[in-house]
Chain A
Amino acid sequence: MPLATEPITINVGPQHPSTHGVFRMRVTFDGEEVIDVEPIFGYLHRGSEKLAESRTYTQIVTLTDRMDYVASMNSNMSYILSVEQLAGIEPSPRGVWLRMIAAELQRIASHLVATGFFLQDLGALGTPLIFTMRERELVLELFERLCGARITSSYMRPGGVFMDAPDDFWPALDRFLAEMPHRIDEYEQLISGNEIVMVRCDGVAVVDSQTLINASVTGPMLRASGVDWDLRHRQPYEYYDQIKFNRPLATASDNYARYIVRVHEMRESLSIVRQCIEQIEPGPVRPKEVPALIRPPAGDAYVGTECPKGELGFYLVSDGGVAPYRCKVRAPSLINLTLLRDMLIGYKLADLFVTFGSIDINMGEVDR
């Protein structure tokens, strides 16, 4: 006689350490197999979009820091590009190069966090996470030299950046660029091809590229399914059209592919930073004519940028005042999370958090 089992519903989170913040999943299991997942979010909602309506354009930069706090420079850049398009500000070249350097460094830091916590969720307690955090520390030290803060940077301003990099920043950046490829090699030695990792990740949570495109998923998650979609290449913003870089792709679209795409993207980011250093020229970092209080003409602007997690876009509507009439954020974390149900059904309990980690979300950005 076969053993009859009843579906059991388990509530995961919102205070679960593996949910990367305050996220709740109502998961229904049949034995050990996942048959239904219902993501519930909104526990970290701070109303950033509404708060933006009562702040001036410069003040909103501080809010964007706190959306994706693992990649604040990228959030800054996305917002600032929207403001520049809205107000018709022509940025200073040196400011743009500095912004690109900061954004690419931040991409490395964010991918390090994603890789580390993905492996932590896999059960590799300690070693890989501590390794990646060690390297992230090097990036954060660079940011401390650059803008005085490690996480909530508020570095960028409409028209460029707030201040030129200090003299001691450039040697430190060179040291970092010389050191980092060896460290990435180390991760590859440690993790890529490790049998335990392969057994747990290879062929787990496969989604086909058509589903991903239909759900408007972007970023490394989409590139892991073989779709060559990178906004830096497709709609070059800043000076990305003057930079040569590869777009690492994988075709398997499973957890391992998502991991390996991130590792290769870190190498590409390093090469982008090197090219930026070659092309940067002395000059002002912010045009003098940009006023302290910006009053853009009535209208709207949307700029999407390629953030570590996907396309982050700010849609700003101005009514001619000092504050935006409406600020809508297209948050990649939220949109990538919507496919969680499709990814998990049919897999086991142990794959739940691994898959969740491989999406690389940030609750600050999901709930805003």
Chain B
Amino acid sequence: MVYGFGLVRGMGVTLKTLLRPAFTVQYPDRRVGLIGAARAYGISTPGLIFKRPIKALRALLGLERIAVRPTQSPRFRGNDFTWYEERCTGCANCAKYCPLGIIKIVTVPGGIDVQEGESYAIETFDIDTGRCMFCALCVEACPFDALHMGTNFELSNFQREALVITKEELISQPKYPSTWFRPQMEESAYSPFDDLMEDMKRAGRHEMPSVELMTERWVEERKTDEAVDD
């Protein structure tokens, strides 16, 4: 073979790659032209020019930017958690399974109390995501499907303390649970990227019994207990 042929052949590959569409993705936002901006805002290009001329001008000058959301799989384990307070019994299985011991749960007897001591109210439910490694073993351990991985990952912060997710934050944040270890969600074709799942009943296999049902059960149990005592 001619000396130097290897180099030429290699250059052929670079040339071929040059003509291919770019593989890289602009993040967190990308510049759009007039047509791209119109598509991003969901209106036609003439509509953009006449209705929002400033935006159209900016797009023409190449200043208009739109946010890019990278494609993720529904099983994506994000840097946050989704938690359903109604489902959680405070059994602390998640805290026991956590390899780093970063879930802190404090419970007090009471809650939706049928009888004191039968159910527990959760006082503290802290997850220290600053130390978390997102292995999702806590999610696997949860017997009531109360804790799920979230899908958000843009959660950088300047303070270490702010990385601790408290109970209030867990309750108030929008719920986009990941389908990691939740086959029932995959079966129902749920996607965390366009489906908000506020309803705790949709999230899992088990349903917490209503207060009336629990009261009824408790009364039944007491009846049988009394019968045995007699």
Residues of A within 8 A of B (CB): 55, 58-59, 61-63, 65-66, 127, 131, 134, 137, 141, 144-149, 152, 154, 162-164, 166, 186, 189-198, 292
Contact = CB atoms under 8 A, between A and B. Distances in A.
Contact of A144 (B76, B149, B186): B76
Given A127-B14, A148-B149, A152-B135, A195 B3 contact: yes
Contact of A145 (B9, B75, B140): B75
A66 B133 CA distance: 10
A152 B133 contact: yes
Contacts of A192: 6
A166 B137 contact: no
21 contacts: A55-B99, A58-B97, A59-B99, A62-B133, A65-B135, A141-B73, A144-B72, A148-B75, A148-B76, A148-B77, A148-B178, A149-B134, A154-B137, A162-B140, A162-B181, A163-B180, A166-B74, A166-B75, A189-B9, A190-B14, A197-B6
B180 A193 contact: no
A166 B187 CA distance: 10
B163 interface: no
B12 interface: yes
Contacts of B76: 144, 148-149
A191 B133 CA distance: 38
Interface of B: 1, 3-7, 9-10, 12-14, 16-17, 23, 72-77, 97, 99, 133-137, 140-141, 149, 178, 180-181, 183, 186
B18 to A, nearest CB: 11
Contacts, number: 83
Given A144-B73, A195-B4, A62 B135 contact: yes
B141 A292 contact: yes
Nearest to A144: B73
Contacts of B73: 141, 144-145, 148, 166
Contacts of B12: 189
A292 B16 CA distance: 52
B188 to A, nearest CB: 13
Nearest to A60: B99
Contact of A148 (B13, B17, B99, B180): B180
A156 to B, nearest CB: 12
Contacts of B5: 193
Given A134-B23, A163-B181, A154 B72 contact: no
A144 B6 CA distance: 37
A149 B77 contact: yes
Nearest to A63: B99
Contact of B6 (A146, A149, A195): A195
A194 B1 CA distance: 12
Contacts of A58: 97, 137
A9 to B, nearest CB: 37
Contacts of A189: 9-10, 12-13
A59 B136 CA distance: 10
Nearest to B98: A59
Contacts of A152: 133-135
B228 to A, nearest CB: 33
Given A58-B137, A144-B73, A146-B75, 7 more contacts: A61-B135, A62-B99, A127-B14, A148-B180, A152-B133, A192-B6, A195-B3
Contacts of A66: 133
Contacts of B4: 195
A189 B14 CA distance: 10
Contact of A193 (B9, B14, B72, B99): B9
Contacts of B181: 162-163
Query: Which 5 pairs across A and B sit closest by C-beta, in order of nearness?
Result: A148-B75, A59-B99, A148-B77, A193-B6, A194-B6
A152 B99 CA distance: 14
A148 B73 CA distance: 7
Contacts of B134: 149, 152
A154 B186 contact: no
Contacts of A141: 73
Contacts of A164: 183
A59 B183 CA distance: 22
B135 A154 contact: yes
Contacts of B75: 144-148, 166
Given A144-B75, A145-B75, A148-B73, A163 B183 contact: yes
A62 B140 CA distance: 14
A196 B6 CA distance: 9
B141 A196 contact: no
A276 B186 CA distance: 24
Contacts of A65: 135
